[in-house]
Homo-oligomer: A and B are copies of this chain.
Protein backbone atom coordinates (compact mmCIF):
# COMPACT_ATOMS: atom_id res chain seq x y z
CA UNK A 1 0.00 0.00 0.00
CA UNK A 2 1.51 3.31 -1.16
CA UNK A 3 0.34 6.77 -0.17
CA UNK A 4 2.29 9.96 -0.55
CA UNK A 5 0.68 13.29 -1.25
CA UNK A 6 1.04 17.05 -0.89
CA UNK A 7 -2.05 19.23 -0.59
CA UNK A 8 -3.12 22.68 0.52
CA UNK A 9 -4.17 22.55 4.18
CA UNK A 10 -7.47 24.39 3.63
CA UNK A 11 -8.46 22.04 0.81
CA UNK A 12 -7.79 19.01 2.98
CA UNK A 13 -9.76 20.51 5.88
CA UNK A 14 -12.63 21.21 3.50
CA UNK A 15 -12.74 17.50 2.68
CA UNK A 16 -12.56 16.34 6.31
CA UNK A 17 -15.09 18.65 7.97
CA UNK A 18 -18.27 17.19 6.41
CA UNK A 19 -17.14 13.77 7.68
CA UNK A 20 -16.11 14.83 11.19
CA UNK A 21 -19.48 16.59 11.51
CA UNK A 22 -21.11 13.13 11.59
CA UNK A 23 -18.54 10.62 12.90
CA UNK A 24 -15.41 10.49 15.07
CA UNK A 25 -13.45 8.03 12.98
CA UNK A 26 -13.68 6.87 9.37
CA UNK A 27 -12.17 4.76 6.65
CA UNK A 28 -10.28 6.69 3.99
CA UNK A 29 -9.99 5.17 0.51
CA UNK A 30 -6.67 6.12 -1.03
CA UNK A 31 -7.72 5.63 -4.65
CA UNK A 32 -5.51 6.18 -7.65
CA UNK A 33 -7.54 9.20 -8.72
CA UNK A 34 -8.09 10.74 -5.29
CA UNK A 35 -9.40 10.29 -1.79
CA UNK A 36 -12.90 9.06 -1.01
CA UNK A 37 -14.57 8.82 2.38
CA UNK A 38 -17.99 7.34 3.10
CA UNK A 39 -19.39 7.23 6.61
CA UNK A 40 -22.63 6.78 8.51
CA UNK A 41 -23.42 7.74 12.08
CA UNK A 42 -23.99 5.12 14.80
CA UNK A 43 -27.80 5.32 14.50
CA UNK A 44 -27.64 4.78 10.72
CA UNK A 45 -29.54 8.05 10.14
CA UNK A 46 -27.01 10.37 8.53
CA UNK A 47 -24.58 9.44 5.76
CA UNK A 48 -21.82 11.34 4.03
CA UNK A 49 -19.79 10.68 0.90
CA UNK A 50 -16.84 12.98 0.27
CA UNK A 51 -14.37 12.86 -2.59
CA UNK A 52 -11.23 14.91 -3.13
CA UNK A 53 -9.78 14.61 -6.64
CA UNK A 54 -6.11 13.79 -7.15
CA UNK A 55 -6.03 16.87 -9.40
CA UNK A 56 -6.53 19.12 -6.38
CA UNK A 57 -3.24 17.90 -4.83
CA UNK A 58 0.18 19.41 -5.51
CA UNK A 59 1.36 15.83 -5.91
CA UNK A 60 -0.48 12.56 -5.35
CA UNK A 61 0.56 8.92 -5.38
CA UNK A 62 -1.73 6.14 -4.12
CA UNK A 63 -2.63 2.63 -5.20
CA UNK A 64 -6.05 1.93 -3.74
CA UNK A 65 -5.22 1.37 -0.06
CA UNK A 66 -7.62 1.80 2.85
CA UNK A 67 -6.75 3.35 6.23
CA UNK A 68 -8.70 4.17 9.38
CA UNK A 69 -8.38 7.69 10.79
CA UNK A 70 -9.27 9.31 14.10
CA UNK A 71 -10.83 12.52 12.80
CA UNK A 72 -10.40 14.63 15.96
CA UNK A 73 -6.68 14.02 15.98
CA UNK A 74 -6.34 14.55 12.27
CA UNK A 75 -8.17 17.88 12.47
CA UNK A 76 -6.03 18.90 15.45
CA UNK A 77 -2.95 18.41 13.29
CA UNK A 78 -4.48 20.32 10.37
CA UNK A 79 -5.29 23.18 12.77
CA UNK A 80 -1.52 23.73 13.11
CA UNK A 81 -1.39 24.86 9.47
CA UNK A 82 -1.70 28.50 8.56
CA UNK A 83 -3.63 29.57 5.50
CA UNK A 84 -1.61 28.65 2.42
CA UNK A 85 0.51 26.01 4.16
CA UNK A 86 1.04 22.73 2.35
CA UNK A 87 0.46 19.44 4.12
CA UNK A 88 2.78 16.56 3.26
CA UNK A 89 1.23 13.15 3.86
CA UNK A 90 3.16 9.89 3.83
CA UNK A 91 1.88 6.51 4.90
CA UNK A 92 4.63 4.50 6.59
CA UNK A 93 3.59 0.94 5.84
CA UNK A 94 5.92 -0.64 8.39
CA UNK A 95 4.69 1.36 11.35
CA UNK A 96 1.09 1.68 10.03
CA UNK A 97 1.35 5.37 10.83
CA UNK A 98 0.56 8.44 8.77
CA UNK A 99 3.40 10.96 8.77
CA UNK A 100 2.10 14.49 8.41
CA UNK A 101 4.52 17.36 7.82
CA UNK A 102 3.54 21.02 7.87
CA UNK A 103 6.28 23.65 7.66
CA UNK A 104 8.91 22.15 10.00
CA UNK A 105 6.35 20.28 12.10
CA UNK A 106 6.21 16.50 11.81
CA UNK A 107 3.29 14.66 13.33
CA UNK A 108 3.13 10.88 13.39
CA UNK A 109 -0.48 9.76 13.50
CA UNK A 110 -1.28 6.18 14.46
CA UNK A 111 -3.88 4.81 12.03
CA UNK A 112 -6.89 2.85 13.25
CA UNK A 113 -7.45 -0.69 12.03
CA UNK A 114 -10.06 -0.16 9.26
CA UNK A 115 -11.72 -3.41 10.41
CA UNK A 116 -12.59 -1.71 13.69
CA UNK A 117 -14.31 1.25 11.97
CA UNK A 118 -18.04 1.10 11.22
CA UNK A 119 -18.82 -0.37 7.78
CA UNK A 120 -18.93 2.14 4.92
CA UNK A 121 -22.49 2.83 3.80
CA UNK A 122 -23.68 2.54 0.24
CA UNK A 123 -25.58 5.73 -0.47
CA UNK A 124 -28.48 4.46 -2.57
CA UNK A 125 -29.44 5.98 -5.89
CA UNK A 126 -32.90 7.17 -4.89
CA UNK A 127 -35.46 8.44 -7.39
CA UNK A 128 -36.42 11.63 -5.53
CA UNK A 129 -39.25 13.67 -7.08
CA UNK A 130 -38.06 17.16 -6.10
CA UNK A 131 -34.73 18.95 -6.48
CA UNK A 132 -34.10 22.52 -5.39
CA UNK A 133 -30.91 24.55 -5.41
CA UNK A 134 -30.59 27.00 -2.52
CA UNK A 135 -27.89 29.02 -0.81
CA UNK A 136 -26.15 27.48 2.20
CA UNK A 137 -27.24 30.57 4.12
CA UNK A 138 -30.95 29.98 3.38
CA UNK A 139 -30.71 26.37 4.55
CA UNK A 140 -28.93 27.49 7.70
CA UNK A 141 -31.61 30.08 8.44
CA UNK A 142 -34.42 27.52 8.11
CA UNK A 143 -32.61 25.17 10.49
CA UNK A 144 -31.95 27.93 13.04
CA UNK A 145 -35.61 28.96 12.92
CA UNK A 146 -36.84 25.38 13.39
CA UNK A 147 -34.47 24.98 16.33
CA UNK A 148 -36.30 27.81 18.13
CA UNK A 149 -39.36 25.63 18.65
CA UNK A 150 -38.61 21.93 18.31
CA UNK A 151 -36.37 18.94 17.62
CA UNK A 152 -37.69 18.10 14.15
CA UNK A 153 -38.06 19.86 10.86
CA UNK A 154 -40.50 19.05 8.09
CA UNK A 155 -39.28 19.69 4.55
CA UNK A 156 -42.08 20.19 2.04
CA UNK A 157 -41.67 20.42 -1.71
CA UNK A 158 -44.85 21.86 -3.18
CA UNK A 159 -46.27 21.25 -6.61
CA UNK A 160 -45.97 25.06 -6.98
CA UNK A 161 -42.17 24.88 -6.85
CA UNK A 162 -41.95 26.17 -3.30
CA UNK A 163 -39.65 24.75 -0.67
CA UNK A 164 -41.11 24.98 2.83
CA UNK A 165 -39.49 24.17 6.18
CA UNK A 166 -41.81 23.70 9.17
CA UNK A 167 -41.34 23.02 12.87
CA UNK A 168 -43.85 22.59 15.68
CA UNK A 169 -43.20 23.11 19.38
CA UNK A 170 -45.50 22.63 22.34
CA UNK A 171 -47.02 26.10 22.00
CA UNK A 172 -45.23 27.81 19.10
CA UNK A 173 -44.58 26.94 15.49
CA UNK A 174 -42.45 28.32 12.69
CA UNK A 175 -42.24 27.92 8.96
CA UNK A 176 -39.85 29.29 6.36
CA UNK A 177 -41.05 29.43 2.77
CA UNK A 178 -38.65 29.77 -0.15
CA UNK A 179 -40.41 30.71 -3.34
CA UNK A 180 -38.87 30.47 -6.78
CA UNK A 181 -37.32 33.92 -6.39
CA UNK A 182 -35.65 32.94 -3.09
CA UNK A 183 -34.12 29.84 -4.66
CA UNK A 184 -31.10 29.62 -6.93
CA UNK A 185 -32.95 27.06 -9.01
CA UNK A 186 -35.78 24.56 -9.20
CA UNK A 187 -34.55 21.47 -11.03
CA UNK A 188 -37.54 19.25 -10.48
CA UNK A 189 -40.98 19.93 -8.99
CA UNK A 190 -43.09 17.09 -7.58
CA UNK A 191 -46.46 16.26 -9.13
CA UNK A 192 -48.07 16.80 -5.73
CA UNK A 193 -46.79 18.17 -2.42
CA UNK A 194 -44.15 15.92 -0.90
CA UNK A 195 -43.32 16.13 2.82
CA UNK A 196 -40.74 14.42 4.99
CA UNK A 197 -39.82 14.93 8.64
CA UNK A 198 -36.19 14.97 9.80
CA UNK A 199 -34.26 15.09 13.05
CA UNK A 200 -32.94 18.62 13.47
CA UNK A 201 -29.71 17.49 15.16
CA UNK A 202 -28.53 15.58 12.13
CA UNK A 203 -29.47 18.29 9.69
CA UNK A 204 -27.60 20.84 11.84
CA UNK A 205 -24.48 18.65 11.77
CA UNK A 206 -24.73 18.31 7.99
CA UNK A 207 -25.31 22.01 7.45
CA UNK A 208 -22.46 23.25 9.65
CA UNK A 209 -19.64 22.77 7.09
CA UNK A 210 -21.65 24.40 4.28
CA UNK A 211 -20.47 27.88 3.32
CA UNK A 212 -23.09 30.66 3.46
CA UNK A 213 -22.67 31.30 -0.25
CA UNK A 214 -22.50 27.66 -1.37
CA UNK A 215 -24.96 26.33 -3.92
CA UNK A 216 -26.67 23.40 -2.21
CA UNK A 217 -28.85 20.90 -4.09
CA UNK A 218 -31.59 19.56 -1.86
CA UNK A 219 -33.39 16.45 -3.11
CA UNK A 220 -36.54 15.43 -1.25
CA UNK A 221 -39.55 13.13 -1.54
CA UNK A 222 -42.65 12.15 0.40
CA UNK A 223 -41.78 10.40 3.69
CA UNK A 224 -38.46 9.59 2.06
CA UNK A 225 -34.78 10.26 2.76
CA UNK A 226 -33.33 13.60 1.68
CA UNK A 227 -30.06 14.26 -0.08
CA UNK A 228 -27.79 17.28 0.06
CA UNK A 229 -25.16 17.87 -2.60
CA UNK A 230 -22.59 20.64 -2.60
CA UNK A 231 -18.95 21.25 -3.30
CA UNK A 232 -16.13 22.92 -1.39
CA UNK A 233 -12.57 24.08 -2.12
CA UNK A 234 -13.57 25.60 -5.48
CA UNK A 235 -15.14 22.34 -6.58
CA UNK A 236 -12.25 20.04 -5.64
CA UNK A 237 -14.25 18.54 -2.78
CA UNK A 238 -17.62 16.97 -3.61
CA UNK A 239 -20.00 16.19 -0.78
CA UNK A 240 -23.19 14.13 -0.75
CA UNK A 241 -25.23 13.77 2.45
CA UNK A 242 -28.20 11.49 2.89
CA UNK A 243 -30.57 11.81 5.84
CA UNK A 244 -33.16 9.19 6.79
CA UNK A 245 -36.62 10.54 7.61
CA UNK A 246 -38.42 10.33 10.92
CA UNK A 247 -41.76 8.63 10.65
CA UNK A 248 -44.24 11.48 10.94
CA UNK A 249 -46.58 11.06 13.91
CA UNK A 250 -49.48 12.43 11.88
Residues of A within 8 A of B (CB): 73, 76-77, 80, 104-110, 141, 144-145, 148-149, 171-179, 182
B177 touches A106 (CB 8 A): yes
- Complex partner residue of A175 from B76, B80, B106, B178, CB under 8 angstroms: B106
Expressed in whole angstroms, the Cα–Cα distance for A127 and B177 within the complex equals 54
A105 touches B174 (CB 8 A): yes
For this chain, the copies found in one complex come to 3
A108 touches B177 (CB 8 A): no
Closest chain-B Cβ to A8's Cβ sits at a distance in Å of 19
Closest to A80 in B: B145
B107 touches A145 (CB 8 A): yes
- Complex partner residue of A110 from B77, B109, B172, CB under 8 angstroms: B172
A107 touches B178 (CB 8 A): no
Closest chain-B Cβ to A186's Cβ sits at a distance in Å of 16
- Complex partner residue of A174 from B108, B110, B149, B178, CB under 8 angstroms: B108
Across-interface contacts of A73 in B (CB, < 8 A):
148, 172
B80 touches A172 (CB 8 A): no
B141 touches A105 (CB 8 A): yes
A148 touches B107 (CB 8 A): yes
B172 touches A104 (CB 8 A): no
Across-interface contacts of A179 in B (CB, < 8 A):
104
Across-interface contacts of A178 in B (CB, < 8 A):
104
Closest chain-B Cβ to A198's Cβ sits at a distance in Å of 18
Expressed in whole angstroms, the Cα–Cα distance for A50 and B141 within the complex equals 30
